[in-house]
Amino acid sequence: MQFLHTCLNVADADRSVEWYTEQLGFEFSWEFETADGETRNRYVADENGVELQLSETRGVTPEDHGETWDHLAVGVEDVDAAFAEIEHHGVVKEPGDQPEAGARTAFVKDPDGHVVELIQPLED
């Protein structure tokens, strides 16, 4: 497995991209919106290519500490196999294709309830 990114829920993705690029020297890397258009995702990366996902959902302002951090993402060769093998502590989302993001994903919880996203690139 490989660490890919951490997702932060933000009130304004563009403002957050500006802050991370101008203040911390990250580079903008890519973006996508969910199929329903409700959530905008912008990614910035450090000099090693590790990404930070800045996720803005229409009408939601993360104010409580528990709402600001969303999940940790790791790359796997096969989402379905990893999902079946991992000893998780709760299923957040079963494996499924996310064409907007170009990936097949699943979400599980770790022993402390933190959400971990498993990601496998979709084949072209």
β-bridge pairing 103-109 and 51-57 = unpaired
Which of 31, 63, 117, 123 is catalytic? The answer is: 117
Query: Is 117 designated active site?
Result: yes
Given pLDDT bands bounded at 50, 70 and 90, which one contains residue 112?
A: low
Cα-atom radius of gyration of the chain, to the nearest Å?
A: 15
- pLDDT per position as a tens digit, 38-96: 999 999 998 889 999 999 999 887 775 566 778 988 889 999 999 998 888 889 999 99
Domain boundaries, the chain: 2-121
Secondary structure of residue 31 in the 3-state scheme: strand
Query: Which range has the worst mean pLDDT, 11-15, 40-44, 100-104?
Result: 11-15
Q: How far is Cα 52 from Cα 92, in angstroms, rounded to an integer? A: 21
Give residue 72's pLDDT: 84
Average per-residue pLDDT for the chain: 89
Q: Is CATH 3.10.105.10 the right assignment for the domain spanning 2-121?
A: no
In the DSSP assignment, the letter for residue 57 is E
